[in-house]
Amino acid sequence: MNLKQLSEILGLSQTTVSRALNGYPEVNAETRERVEAAARKHNYSPNRRATSLATGRSMTIGHVIPASTQHEMVNPIFGDFVAGAAGVYGEEGYDMLFSHVTDGDEERAYTDLKRKGTVDGVIVQGPKVNDARIEVLTRLGLPFVVHGRSSGAGQDYSWVDVNNRRSFKRATEFLLDLGHRRIALINGLEDMDFAQRRRAGYLEALAERGVTPDPTLMRSAEMTEVYGHHETRDMLALSDPPTAILAASMISAIGVRRAIEEAGLTIGKDVSVITHDDELSYLRNGQDVPIFTATRSSVHQAGRVLAEMLLRRIEDPTAVPEQILLEAELVVGRSTGPAPTGD
Amino acid sequence: MNLKQLSEILGLSQTTVSRALNGYPEVNAETRERVEAAARKHNYSPNRRATSLATGRSMTIGHVIPASTQHEMVNPIFGDFVAGAAGVYGEEGYDMLFSHVTDGDEERAYTDLKRKGTVDGVIVQGPKVNDARIEVLTRLGLPFVVHGRSSGAGQDYSWVDVNNRRSFKRATEFLLDLGHRRIALINGLEDMDFAQRRRAGYLEALAERGVTPDPTLMRSAEMTEVYGHHETRDMLALSDPPTAILAASMISAIGVRRAIEEAGLTIGKDVSVITHDDELSYLRNGQDVPIFTATRSSVHQAGRVLAEMLLRRIEDPTAVPEQILLEAELVVGRSTGPAPTGD
DNA sequence: TGGGAATTTGAAACCGCTTTGGACGCCGCA
DNA sequence: TGCGGCGTCCAAAGCGGTTTCAAATTCCCA
């Protein structure tokens, strides 16, 4: 059942039927009702491809996934983020499209997306320091918003980010207040912008208290469980091991905990742990009392906020970019305690 | 730059240019080269919407996400599965589209997808027992493949599944061989088909050894960390607690471990644990020696296999359905040991 | 040397929708 | 009575490709 058939059944022109269904004013109320009834009856809904060819809008939002390492997608954070965004898209009638870039040439991927008209806008995930995508997208004039920021990217662009610097600074201060001096940082990949900011916050807190940072206590890699475990085990074996650890995600924190327990130590007593908690649905930080003391910020919520922002930009691409900086809470759980007295 | 402009530049008809670019044989080799060079030079690539309107193929694959509970998406398994599938789509020039269904009416969602022509085929995730989607899709004639199976769904359809019954049977037998008799099952939601099969395997093993199943040792819910922890804590507080636990995923197993350790017990000694391991990238089961004894089957690989199968079906929708049953390995880690002797 | 086959190209129809530019009838007002 | 304006509706021109059908050219061989 397409528009032509429907209009023939009704004895009307395609024009009128189309207008009736799209809520244009210049159609008789009675006619409109007839049309709507017929559409319902015959289960008609317009062909998306034809509509978008005619209007120039595709009603879909793109998420580009770099293939080489499919970091984004397999990262458990991805699901919650995307689910948040998907909720908004659904409400507004948008679909969500994932494009898989074969190799590093994201520039080409975006150019294609723009030219092929597959999407109306894109969300940029996992921005790196000085991320080239931002320049490409502004040049192409394809509406976009960034989840996070990219230091060094000159342009004025729209983003939503957590105040990573401040939250990790606060977490570090919290540990310093508890008397810890040997505080380790198990960070995410440091070419990621957020990881840089977290490290900056951590260093800032140490500096203000006159604690000299120890490079052997600063680790950085992808935020997996195995990595958290590996680095922790490694550091606990040092002659002067850390008494506190800052982890970048629940997943790596779980590895941290495993290593601590394997070493026969008690978390929150022998070694304190603070993690960043994205409030993943499947990995809640405990039900009543938090398992980990944590800097908390919902990535699901971030997905929603970003999606809404993007749809606004699509509506009015010339508007000045918006920026939202979310503050993370510091919630106290059972994984932190006073520094053990060296005796 | 569109086809018309390009053809004018070349002084050729749109027909010829289109043919040259799409590899039709009836075009002069020299002409083809000229066209290809010009296309490269002017950075031309055909508009996806127009192409798909003309051909009737959208070159995108749909994944439908039930909105109510966005289980699928936030499940960490989702990312790895989808990444596997995305790899295949990318290689074959397909895009991946997520549709967000507002409420339970998936029937309508699929009907729309079909009628609007948004996708060429869909992957059905998380099939329930007697899943209605299968009937709807066969009726609509929209190519699809199912990740898992659905008992009771009459039709003959294409699927890829892990032999859940057998793998959980083997795991249970493994524990029985170690002398365990009070074996708990912390299952996924039991309206999910895979959970039913796992339970069946578990019960089968018990029955063959003459062990009467204890309903208080059989739990079922969404496979989160908190849930694994909660149920384990609960069961360990029983007057006659289990000496072994079968968990449905790495995530819940982590909760299980936390509860065991909180109870002051040792995993693999006081309580044995076997989990199913989907080989999630961010949650590997240890690096060298597995953390958990586990039934192992890569969900990433399953994603690939399903995607390939779906593309085959799209190619030839009339072909007889394919079915692939993957066997899970049973890998022995450090979370299992002989049943503690009751003294 | 002529004619049928093979090769190469093009005009135009079509995919299913939106939207522009009228057309038509009717009303109200001068 | 005449005419502008309003309310409704429609024919047709896009949107940017693919594909059918036919034409023009070249080739080959009797």
**Chain segment B167-225, per-residue pLDDT in tens:** 999 999 999 999 999 999 999 999 899 999 999 999 999 999 999 999 999 999 989 99
pLDDT at residue B172 in the model: 98
* Mean pLDDT confidence for B271-289: 94
pLDDT band of residue A64 (cuts 50, 70, 90) is: confident
pLDDT at residue A151 in the model: 86
Cross-chain residue pair A96–B101, CB shorter than 8 Å: no
Is the minimum distance from the CB of B53 to strand C below 7 Å?
yes
Give the pairing of strands B183-187 and A244-247.
unpaired
Query: pLDDT tens digits for B4-50?
Result: 999 999 999 999 999 999 999 889 999 999 999 999 999 899 999 99
Say which nucleotide is closest to residue B56, CA to C1' distance.
Answer: C15
- Measured in angstroms, the CA of B86 and the nearest CA of chain A are apart by 7
CA distance B242 to B265: 12
**Cβ–Cβ under 8 Å, residues B142 and B117:** no
What is the average pLDDT score of chain A?
Answer: 92
Query: pLDDT tens digits for A24-39?
Result: 998 999 999 999 999 9
CB proximity A300 to B under 8 Å? yes
Strand (E) or helix (H) holding A173: helix A164-177
pLDDT at residue B103 in the model: 59
- Measured in angstroms, the CA of B193 and the nearest CA of chain A are apart by 20
* Mean pLDDT confidence for B326-336: 97
pLDDT at residue A115 tops 90: no
pLDDT at residue B343 in the model: 55
Query: pLDDT tens digits for B226-265?
Result: 999 999 999 999 999 999 999 999 999 999 999 999 999 9
- Domains defined along chain B, listed by start: 3-41 (no CATH), 60-162+300-326 (3.40.50.2300), 164-297 (3.40.50.2300)
Instruction: Give B128's DSSP letter.
Output: B
The three-state secondary structure class of B224 is coil
pLDDT at residue B151 tops 90: no
HSE-up of A34 (CA within 13 Å, CB side)?
13
pLDDT at residue A67 in the model: 57
Is A74 or B149 the better-scoring residue by pLDDT?
Answer: B149
pLDDT at residue A235 tops 90: yes
CB atoms within 10 A of CB B8: 12
Between A and B, how many CB-CB pairs are < 8 A?
Answer: 179
Percentage of residues in chain A having pLDDT higher than 90: 75
pLDDT at residue B69 tops 60: no
* Mean pLDDT confidence for A314-321: 92
List the single residue in B with minimal CA-CA distance to A94: B99
Give the type of residue at A121.
Answer: G
A13 CA to C23 C1' in angstroms comes to 14
CA distance A154 to A158: 12
Give the type of residue at B175.
Answer: L
Give the type of residue at B129.
Answer: V
Q: How many residues does chain B have?
A: 343
Instruction: Provide, for chain B, the percentages of residues in helix, strand and coil under a 3-state DSSP scheme, each rounded to the nearest 5.
Output: 45, 15, 40
Query: pLDDT tens digits for A146-173?
Result: 999 998 877 799 999 999 999 999 999 9
Is the minimum distance from the CB of A102 to strand C below 7 Å?
no
Cross-chain residue pair A287–B1, CB shorter than 8 Å: no
Question: Which segment of A251-260, A288-297, B132-141 scores lowest on mean pLDDT?
Answer: B132-141
CA distance A325 to B310: 42
CB atoms within 10 A of CB A313: 20
pLDDT at residue B55 in the model: 93
pLDDT at residue A308 tops 60: yes
Is the minimum distance from the CB of A118 to strand D below 7 Å?
no
Set of chain A residues whose Cβ sits within 8 Å of the Cβ of B76 = 76, 79, 280, 282-283
**Cβ–Cβ under 8 Å, residues B260 and B228:** no
Interface of A with B in 60-89 (CB under 8 A): 60, 65, 67, 70, 73-76, 78-80, 82-83, 86-87, 89
A3 CA to C11 C1' in angstroms comes to 27
* Exposed / middle / buried, residue A226 (Cβ in 10 Å: 0-12, 13-18, 19+): buried
Query: pLDDT tens digits for B75-123?
Result: 888 889 998 998 899 889 899 998 877 656 778 888 888 888 899 999 9
CB proximity A301 to B under 8 Å? no
- Phi and psi based region of residue B272 (left: phi greater than 0; alpha: psi -120 to 50; beta: remaining): beta
List the single residue in A with minimal CA-CA distance to B285: A226
* Mean pLDDT confidence for A216-244: 96
pLDDT at residue A70 in the model: 53
Give the type of residue at B315.
Answer: E
* Mean pLDDT confidence for B63-81: 74
- Measured in angstroms, the CA of A167 and the nearest CA of chain B are apart by 24
Query: pLDDT tens digits for A202-226?
Result: 999 999 999 999 999 999 998 999 9
Pick out residues 48-67 of chain A having their CB under 7 A from any atom of nucleic acid strand C. 50-51, 53-55
Cross-chain residue pair A98–B101, CB shorter than 8 Å: no
List the single residue in B with minimal CA-CA distance to A83: B73
Residue A330: phi and psi, rounded to 5, are -110, 105
Is A44 or B71 the better-scoring residue by pLDDT?
Answer: A44
Query: pLDDT tens digits for B162-173?
Result: 999 999 999 999
What sign has the CA pseudo-torsion B290, B295, B299, B301? positive
